[in-house]
Amino acid sequence: MIEGMAGSGFLVEVPPGHVRKEKEKARALRKTQWWQRRIAKGRCHYCGARVDPKDLTMDHVVPLVRGGRTTKGNVVPCCKDCNSKKKYYLPIEWEEYLRTLQAPAQKGE
């Protein structure tokens, strides 16, 4: 079980070797012109921050540990801060997490 996943509504069992195989694909995809064009914009997909392209990471929208794959439709440029906070969250879970961060700030307005 993934640390912190207790009570999660969606957990899939991934085949042995899935994560390793997909990480190998990610290494290859990072070298492509397609990815270089994506990061050249210098924007984090999640927070919109301007980031030096060399500091952008490749985030799997559906994480590998949740059954995601390394495809052009499942990877986005992401700042290191968002990537480390997003961890294994699915998009709906990530959005919910962001809302919980915004809620206390809105109460103080």
CA distances from 108 to 97, 102, 103, 104 (A): 19, 10, 9, 7
Predicted pLDDT of residue 104: 64
How sure is the predictor about 13, in pLDDT bands with cuts at 50, 70 and 90? confident
| Under 8 Å between Cβ of 81 and 66 | no
Domains and CATH numbers, the chain: 18-107 (1.10.30.50)
Which bin fits 32, alpha (ψ -120 to 50), beta or left (φ > 0)?
beta
Under 8 Å between Cβ of 105 and 86: no
3-state secondary structure of 58: strand
Average pLDDT, integer, range 8-35: 90
Residue range 37-96, pLDDT digits in tens:
999 999 999 999 999 999 999 999 999 999 999 999 999 999 999 999 999 999 999 999
> For 12-21, what is the mean pLDDT?
90
Provide the strand spans (E) within 1-109: 57-60, 75-78
Backbone angles phi, psi at 87, to 5 degrees: 50, -115
User: Does pTM surpass 0.75?
Assistant: yes
| 8 Å CB contact between 16 and 54 | no
